[in-house]
Structure formats: structure tokens, C-alpha cells
Amino acid sequence: MKVLVVGGGGREHAIVDALTRSASTREIVCTPGNPGIAAQARCVAGLQQPQALAELARAEGADLVMVGPEGPLAAGVVDELQRSGILAFGPTLAAARLEGDKAWSKAFMQRHGIPTARWRSFDVLPLALEYAQSQPLPLVVKDAGLRAGKGVTICQTQAEAVQALAAIFEQPQAQVVIEEFMVGQEVSVLAFADGLKAVQMPPSQDHKTIFEGDTGPMTGGMGVICPYPLGEADCQHIQAAVLDPVMRGMAAEGQPFVGVLYAGLMLTAQGPKVVEFNARFGDPEAEAVLPLLTTDLAEIALSCAQGRLQPQQVRFADSASAVVVLAAPGYPNEPVRGIPLTLPMPGVNQRLYHAGTAVRDGHLVSAGGRVLALQACAPTLPAALREVYDLAARVGFAGAQYRRDIGGRLGLTPEV
């Protein structure tokens, strides 16, 4: 089949890379893509609006469209594709609210008995301030809209809560979710969803703050280990307590969920609780998880779009994967663009995904906050970490920021 991939970051590079291993895929087109993706697929310059994307899919004769980022999903690209009779892997606008509207999402969890942190939502500042002041610290303040993973502040003091709330309410039509701070290990459980059922991928763990030791501002994600060591019983519990109720609830409310259902979970002393849902592959979780997929991504995505996914279609290698993100100096606030990049040839078990790169005057340069996502597979996580850090050491990127402690929350260090 011919597959059109929408997006141009590290996640979409990993999707395209997985499609190059798909026997059912004869052609891959990506919009807008990036210089790394261009080595593996034909890239078509940036189209953002749902109608323009649907026209492109029609003009290309795409059999399937896979939508990577949350932006086009929240703009209704899947609805537009469906109206045009084109199969799409991704949720409709209504189903994407699970990610795009955090207040709605929390209310959905409440309606369907899905475990999550205690919360309240507000659309005016004075009531939000009054509630925040009545709550114990630390406290989590979330912008209810889409903010590329950066709309969350963990407030250690009331002054920080006031500041975070004031910043959110500077925007028009702001809404905020204030929730209790949960303690535990954070795990990303992604699942392929066909509208009725969700089939899990191996659990992974992202590292969301910019600095080592889980300090500094939140980012889109700085590195991942996969699999996070959850037992079979834990995975079954997450299926029964979180994923299945989402699938049933969304279908019952008339908006069946198709695409990647991403449950961000906290493993608390009371069991797993949902931190947030995303309606797409995580980035950089996709870069860690997809290299382990041994079955055909396009077949899986097509089956999801047609509501006929079989669990046996989804198989992963029994090995480990690690991702380290190289970010530009100044990220996440003001990333420096235009820094020359020199890329090494990755080894057989290493991959180099482009996230924010561009070609200027014939030279590869940084063009975003997260610039490269480096990945390695190995039989164990310490070996995968060693491989990925070896690759990082060979990249030429002056001033690159990257965390040297990926896996450290589990006490893992690169094997020497």
C-alpha cells in the first residue's frame, strides 16, 4: 500500500523507518518530513490544514494516512480524511479530546472509573487561586489545552502555583486543571487501538525534564528506556483498569478511539493511576518502541483504521531499547537554531532519528528544540544505554544538551 505520514519530527522519522520494514508498504510519502526522513521517504513540503492534507492524500492516491503529531489531530484531520473516504490511523477530533482537553479527559476518567489523581478544573483565575491555596503541596498545575508537553508545572510552593496559574490565564479562553501530586515511577503504556480494543506495546519510561536528576523545566521528553520492567500481571491490570475502560467509554459515548492510545501512568502505592492520556505515539517513546516491532506497522495501522485489529498482529522483539535526545542549547525556552551538525554512521543496532534539523546552504543544521533522537537496541537495557551513549559521543553538535542519566531512575547505568 501507499502510506502518507503526517509530521516532521523524530516520532515521524521512527514511523517512516518502521514502514520501510513493512512488507505491505510499497511507497511512503511524508509531509512535511525532515532531512532524515527524506533519506527514507518522499517528502512533500509542509501542509497543515486538514483540507489541504486530505487533498494531498487524494492526489497521491494514499491507501492509508498515519498522523503523527497532536496538532493536526486536534484540527480534525482524521474527520476530513474520513469525509473524503480515505482511511486514517488516528483519532477523530472528538476522540482526540482525550489529549487535547485535559479537563474533559479528567471528567471522562471520572465517568468511567479510571484511576487518576484527585483534580479540579477552572476557567477563571480567582477560583483557581482559591482552590490551589486550599491544597497541600506539591501541587500540579496543568494548562488544559495542548502545549507540547510543556504546559505542566509541579509547584513546590504556593508562590509557584500563583505564578503558573497567572501565566496560563494570560491566554484567552484559558482553562486549568489542578491536581494532586502523585509519587511513584512514571510509565508510558502505548496501545494500538481499533475503536473497540487496545493492544499494548511494551511499556516504556520517558524522562521529561531538561536536566539530570529530573530537575529543570519540562520538555517534550529527553530520553526513553523500553521495556520498563512491568510484570505480566501489572500489564493485565493496566489493560483491565485503564485501557479497556477507555475503549468501552469512548465507544459508548459515540467517539470510538482509533490510533495510538497513550496512557501516561504513575505507579503509585495504590496502584497505577493515569497522569494523562495522549492520542498519538509519544515522542520520543515511538523512537524507542517502534524499532522493537517485528510485525508490519502498516498492516497494524490499516487494521486499526478498519476496526479489525487482531492481537497476534502486534509482536515485539524480546530485547531492550534506549533513546537519548540531543537538544539545542537554550531548549526548552529559546533553542538556538542554525548550529552545524555532523552525523556519524550509526552501527547496526543504532539509529539516528532527525527531530529538528534542516539543510541550509547544503549543510545540516539544528532547526528546533529537540534536534536528534538517538536509539539503540541490545539484549539488555544497560547494553542498549552503552550503545546509545556511544552514538551520542560521535555526533558533532556544539553545545548540545543531553541527559547522561537516562534509565537512572531504575538504577540503570550504561554497561561498561
What residues line the site for ligand GLY (CB under 6 A)? 149, 206, 220-221, 278, 282-283, 285
Closer by beta carbon to ligand GLY, 282 or else 368: 282
CB-CB neighbours of 171 under 10 Å: 11
**Least distance CB 89 / ligand GLY (angstroms):** 17
| CA 119/CA 235 separation, integer angstroms | 25
| CA 215/CA 230 separation, integer angstroms | 25
Closer by beta carbon to ligand GLY, 165 or else 286: 286
399 near 326, Cβ under 8 Å? no
**Least distance CB 398 / ligand GLY (angstroms):** 26
**Least distance CB 98 / ligand GLY (angstroms):** 13
**Least distance CB 165 / ligand GLY (angstroms):** 22
DSSP-derived letter for residue 332 is: T
Closer by beta carbon to ligand GLY, 207 or else 273: 207
| Cell numbers linked to 187 | 510509565
233 near 288, Cβ under 8 Å? no
**Least distance CB 285 / ligand GLY (angstroms):** 6
| CA 91/CA 154 separation, integer angstroms | 29
**Least distance CB 220 / ligand GLY (angstroms):** 6
Closer by beta carbon to ligand GLY, 11 or else 197: 11
Cis peptide leading into residue 329 (ω within 30°) = no
Closer by beta carbon to ligand GLY, 36 or else 221: 221
| Residue nearest ligand GLY by beta-carbon distance | 221
**Least distance CB 305 / ligand GLY (angstroms):** 21
Closer by beta carbon to ligand GLY, 206 or else 296: 206
| Residue 387 half-sphere exposure toward CB, CA atoms < 13 A | 23
**Least distance CB 134 / ligand GLY (angstroms):** 30
Closer by beta carbon to ligand GLY, 203 or else 282: 282
Closer by beta carbon to ligand GLY, 206 or else 387: 206
381 near 288, Cβ under 8 Å? no
H/E/C letters for each residue in 1-16?
CEEEEEECCHHHHHHH
**Strand pairing of 119-122 and 320-327?**
unpaired
H/E/C letters for each residue in 250-311?
HHHCCCCCEEEEEEEEEEECCEEEEEEEECCCCCCHHHHHHHHECCCHHHHHHHHHCCCCCH
| CA 167/CA 1 separation, integer angstroms | 46
**Least distance CB 410 / ligand GLY (angstroms):** 17
Q: Which of 388, 391, 363 is nearest to 378 (CA)?
A: 388
**Least distance CB 9 / ligand GLY (angstroms):** 10
Closer by beta carbon to ligand GLY, 14 or else 75: 14
**Least distance CB 150 / ligand GLY (angstroms):** 10
| Cell numbers linked to 410 | 531504575
Closer by beta carbon to ligand GLY, 220 or else 249: 220
**Strand pairing of 341-342 and 396-397?**
antiparallel
Q: Which of 161, 116, 407, 383 is nearest to 266 (CA)?
A: 116
| φ, ψ (nearest 5 deg) of residue 99 | -100, -45
Give the N- to C-terminal CA distance of the chain in Å, as an integer.
Answer: 43
Closer by beta carbon to ligand GLY, 176 or else 325: 325
